[in-house]
Amino acid sequence: MVGMPGAGRYAPSPSGDLHYGNLRTALLAWLWARSTGRDFRMRVDDIDTQRSSAISAERQLADLAALGIDWDGDVLFQHDRFDAYANALDHLEQRGLVYECYCSRREIQEASRAPHAVPGSYPGNCRLLDDATRAQRRADLAAVGRVPALRLRADVTQWTVHDFFAGDYTGDVDDMVLRRGGQAPDWAYNLAVVGDDAFQGVDQVVRGRDLLSSAPRQSYLAGLLGIEAPDYVHVPLVLSPTGRRLAKRDGAVTLREMLHDATPGEVVSRLAVSLGFGPVSAAAELLEVFDPAVLSGEDYVWG
């Protein structure tokens, strides 16, 4: 798929039905891609094999289609891309950009609370270990049936991206996990999403602004892999009446629940109104009047 025209995408994690906030972001991603002449790709981010469900994925895709959100090409499933992630990791390893990490979550949390540590970032505990220490730590993990995580040896601590709403945004870059350790090693999200977007020809990423802080890490990693970073659009969130990000616990907020009292067209119309456009009868009608320039940068409160 590489080399095809630019594309936008939506990539839900199949861990439950999509709620109003998810649907609003999906609709915006579709509108942004279609209004700029791009293809629109669909991907199922099921890299977390413990939480992902094939049934959930089917329901999510059916819900999106019911709202008039269509996509080009086949749906891409991350569980089919593990060999590609291994190849990307090998590319980084050959350049000396990968090292083993033996830290437990508790060790990382304790280190991140130290003075001058960047909250939420890996403090580099295992980056400079000597070979003897590495061999011992590796053996200690093997004795309990575990393998070390693999981290990126980053040579920057910050990176700047440009976002439609935030403008130039500089965020922290740490030695991010590329492959998780433990008893059942899993591929890490940052490595997967960068490679998947490139594979699908995605050059425009529209997603919730709670993910803005991930963009510098992903943009930096893309550069190391020889991939051009996409245009970023981190859209406002849907909040509950209490001011928290909307969640399924906030009431009848999934499409399936809303369809008890409304048609798909009425749900799309409500979404359109939340975006500052008048009532519409279908997603295609909203596309005709969609203009990113008039969108509000403020979060929308459900209610």
In the annotated binding site, the residues are 9-13, 45, 101, 103, 122, 126, 189, 207, 248
Q: Which residues are annotated as a binding site for Zn(2+)?
A: 101, 103, 122, 126
Encoding tokens for residue 250?
Answer: 């906030």
Kindly report the CA angle at 227 between 9 and 101, in degrees rounded to 5? 100
Q: Which residues are annotated as a binding site for ATP?
A: 248
- Residues 189 and 218: their CA atoms lie apart, in Å, by 10
- Residues 225 and 1: their CA atoms lie apart, in Å, by 17
Q: Which residues are annotated as a binding site for L-glutamate?
A: 9-13, 45, 189, 207
Residue 186 in contact with residue 179, Cβ under 8 Å? yes
Task: Please write down the HEC assignment for all residues of 128-196.
Answer: CCCHHHHHHHHHHHHHCCCECEEEECCCCCEEEEEECCCEEEEEECCCCEEECCECCCCECHHHHHHHH
Q: Which residues contact 213 (CB under 8 A, 6 or more apart)?
A: 171, 172
Residue with tokens 């730590």: 137
CA distances from 122 to 45, 182, 222 (A): 24, 17, 19
- Residues 240 and 176: their CA atoms lie apart, in Å, by 31
